[in-house]
Amino acid sequence: MTRTIREVTFDLLRKLELTTVFGNPGSTEETFLKHFPKDFRYVQTLHEASAVGAADAYAQAMRRPAIVNVHTSAGLSNGMSNILTAFQNKTPLIITAGNQTRDMLLMEPWLTNVEPSQLPRPWVKWAYEPVRAEDVPAAFMRAYAMALQPPAGPVFLSIPLDDWDRPASGEPVLRSVATRIAPDPDRVAEFARVLSGASNPVLIYGAAIARGNGWPQAIALAEKLNAPVWAAPACERPPFPETHPLYAGGLPFAIAPLSRKLEGHDVAIVIGAPVFRYYPYVAGTYLPEGMRLLHVTDDAAEAGRAPVGDSMLSDPVLALESLTRLVEPRTGSDAPLKQAHRMAPHPAAPAHVAKPGEMTPLELFQTLRAATPAETILVEESPSNLGELHSAWPIDQPDSFYTFASGSLGWGLPASVGLAMAERDSGRNRPVLAIIGDGSLQYSIQALWTAAQQKLPILVVVPRNGEYAILKSFAVLEETPGVPGLDLPGLDIVSLAKGYGCNSARAETADKIRKVCAEAFTRSGPTVLEVPVTATVPPLL
Ligand SMILES: Cc1ncc(C[n+]2csc(CCOP(=O)(O)OP(=O)(O)O)c2C)c(N)n1
Ligand SMILES: [Mg+2]
């Protein structure tokens, strides 16, 4: 008996263990979702940004790809901000959408995705609409292979709505791909020679080490070289324990200040991060005078766009293993394993003074750290008080801190949904705490509804400063006084959260925060805690 494209495709997805679909449906997707199989799970979101953000974090935490299904050109367009983020996070996602009936595509009826292979670019590795219905299952297989191979990232498949009930031309071919590429042996030996010959080397580690589960390897190389470790600028996942004696802190994300931090070293090696992720323009030299820079990445485009340095394509963790084998151990009194070298983990927190009824961000974060279990996973999207957060909450366990690689707001809240689902599915069951600015919360706030429907015990803490504080800091740096639209009056976060089905509260004291924390993780549903904090305009760098 001939099977349909739908039956054959769902079978393939089963074999690939892709049985969770994050989505928001439309008429062009209902033919795919028809008779949705019992062994699959549909995670309903109310906006595509939430579908993509939740799927991204779920895929990261489960260390395997996830599927997203959105509504033709309209839903794909809504999801773009978080697709951009998934691309920069290097998360393997298979994003699918329906398209209009093939019979009508030529005349472009309502909601047609007119250029499905163009619309999501440049933030997907591959985008395709099968030429024939029969190609749909193999296109999923290709999408899976494309998404997973280094550098991992999102791909997009557009499927006309009348394809699913068509007869399949055969059984799908199951394939597998490697997810890591090994370093060129000659090149890695040369890198090891340069490191061994350095008088004062420095290591700059990036999020790819965390994605590759490489903390032990990152520690091994640092200890053998006895060299300080910086986290790459705006690193989305910590690559190294922030409490390790060799940890120097997070590098600033501007040219001149970053270069100044590296002064005194003759060789630097960046492993698993771009060279470099900058944001505010502060002109200067990329590196201190005379420094040699080595760069290891599994992303040829990332290697290509580095303005300085010598690169090697490799999985960052495999490179760490090879380098650790090959480098000479460094000891001796001039080596920097001494506390004197150690810097504050991140820029010193500015000394804020709180008014009655509000806290400083630092007090808030210190209270939260003390009131939550040690193994709590922290999600951050609170731009103006990152320095305070990192000093109050050093990360000393792998996979316990997540933020986004892109700077595009609206990722953190749905990501906390994906992370909490992964904690439950994996049986790890660590608590999830998301710290989301009062401005940032609004971009995909409807993720709260999915958290409530999925009964996820997430604690979302909203530092309520009533402003886009970081943009006020930018206005100082860019010398642009008088910019409108930087204040956020009249937002009632407690009511918004209640409206989406969450527990919610406002806390103005450390005691109340402790009480809310004690209850939040025992609930079968999310808690949103609004905390008035001092409105400040912190220095950007
Ligand atoms: C999608 C998107 N829109 C706009 C911005 C610009 N932007 C950067 S930070 C920011 C304000 C964030 O405000 P909030 O979350 O309250 O954090 P605070 O700066 O107050 O700590 C905005 C609007 C952005 N980065 N992404
Ligand atoms: Mg704010």
Centre of ligand 2 to C-alpha 96, Å, is 34
pLDDT tens-digit readout, 122-145:
999 999 999 999 999 999 999 999
Q: How many CB atoms lie within 10 A of CB 241?
A: 18
> Bridge-partner residues for 462, per DSSP?
530
Amino acid at 35: H
Top pLDDT among 510 and 536 is at 510
Over residues 234-242, the mean pLDDT reads: 98
Check whether 267 has a pLDDT greater than 80. Answer: yes
Instruction: Give me the mean pLDDT over the 111-118 stretch.
Output: 97
- pLDDT digits 0-9 by tens, 14-63: 999 999 999 999 999 999 999 999 999 999 999 999 999 999 999 999 99
**Quick one: pLDDT band at residue 178, thresholds 50, 70, 90?**
very high
Q: Is the distance from CB of 404 to CB of 86 less than 8 angstroms?
A: no
What average pLDDT score do residues 272-301 get?
A: 97
Instruction: Say if residue 331 is exposed, middle or buried (CB neighbours under 10 Å; 0-12, 13-18, 19+).
Output: exposed
In sequence order, what are the beta bridge partners of 249?
Answer: 230
For residues 313 and 442, what is the distance between their CA atoms, to the nearest angstrom? Answer: 39
- Separation of CA 202 from chain center: 25
465 lines ligand 1 (CB under 6 A): yes
Element containing residue 10 per DSSP (H, E):
helix 5-15
- Phi–psi pair at 296, nearest 5 degrees: -115, 125
In the prediction, which pLDDT does 341 show? Answer: 41
Q: Closest ligand to 466 CA?
A: 2
Q: How far is the CA of 466 from the centre of ligand 1 (A)?
A: 12
The response to whether residue 189 sits with its C-beta less than 6 Å from ligand 1 reads: no
Q: What is the pLDDT of residue 529?
A: 98
* 440 Cβ below 6 A of ligand 1: yes
444 lines ligand 1 (CB under 6 A): no
Q: For residue 267, give both structure tokens.
A: 């060789």
> Which atom, in ligand 1's list, is nearest to the CA of 381?
15
CA distance 368 to 517: 8
Instruction: Show the CA angle centred on residue 192, arms to residues 188 and 198, nearest 5°.
Output: 145
279 close to 234: Cβ distance less than 8 angstroms: yes
More confident residue, 351 or 376: 376
Average pLDDT of the chain is: 95
Helix (H, G, I), strand (E, B) or coil at 408: coil
What was the pLDDT predicted at 100? 97
- Does residue 356 come out as left (phi exceeding 0), alpha (psi in the -120 to 50 range) or beta? beta
The confidence score (pLDDT) of residue 443 equals 98
Mean pLDDT calculated for residue range 71-100? 98
CB atoms within 10 A of CB 509: 12
Higher pLDDT, 332 or 437: 437
Phi and psi (nearest 5°) for 313?
-80, 125
Ligand 1, atom 3: closest residue by C-alpha: 409
Max Cα distance, the chain (Å): 77
Average pLDDT, integer, range 430-457: 98
Which one has a higher pLDDT value, 349 or 164?
Answer: 164
| Gap from CA of 468 to ligand 1 centroid (Å) | 6
pLDDT band with cut points at 50, 70 and 90 for residue 355: confident
Calpha distance 165→161 (Å, rounded):
9
**Where does the pLDDT of residue 171 fall: very low under 50, low under 70, confident under 90, or very high at 90 and above?**
confident
d(CA 247, CA 514): 30
The distance from CA 176 to its chain's CA centroid, rounded to whole angstroms, is: 25
Q: What percent of the chain has pLDDT over 90?
A: 92
Q: How far is the CA of 392 from the centre of ligand 2 (A)?
A: 19
Q: Which range has the worst mean pLDDT, 29-33, 167-171, 285-289, 430-434?
A: 167-171
Ligand 1 touching residue 420 (CB < 6 A): no
Confidence of residue 96 (pLDDT cuts 50, 70, 90): very high
326-352 pLDDT, tens digit per residue, is 999 998 645 454 443 444 344 445 556
Q: Ligand 1 within 6 A of 467 CB?
A: yes
Residue 91 contacts residue 130 (beta carbons within 8 Å): no
Q: What residue owns the CA closest to ligand 1's atom 16? A: 439
- Looking at residue 167, the DSSP 8-state letter turns out to be B
**What is the whole-number distance in angstroms between the Cα of residue 253 and the centre of ligand 1?**
17
Who wins on pLDDT, 229 or 540?
Answer: 229
Contact 520, 456 (CB under 8 A): no
Specify the pTM: 0.96
Instruction: Give SS3 for 440.
Output: helix
What integer pLDDT is reported at residue 22 of this predicted model?
A: 98
Distance 535 CA to ligand 2 centre (A): 8
Tell me, rounded to whole angstroms, the distance of Cα 60 from its chain centroid: 8
Distance 512 CA to ligand 1 centre (A): 27
Q: Quick check: 56 and 79 in contact, CB under 8 A?
A: no
Cα gap 66→58, rounded to integer Å: 7
User: Which DSSP letter does residue 328 get?
Assistant: P
Cross-strand partners of 183: none
420 three-state secondary structure: helix
Pocket test for ligand 1, best of 409, 442, 537 (most atoms within 8 A of CB): 409
**Whole-number Cα distances in Å, 116 to 28, 74, 93, 367:** 14, 11, 17, 48
**pLDDT over 90 at 540, yes or no:** no
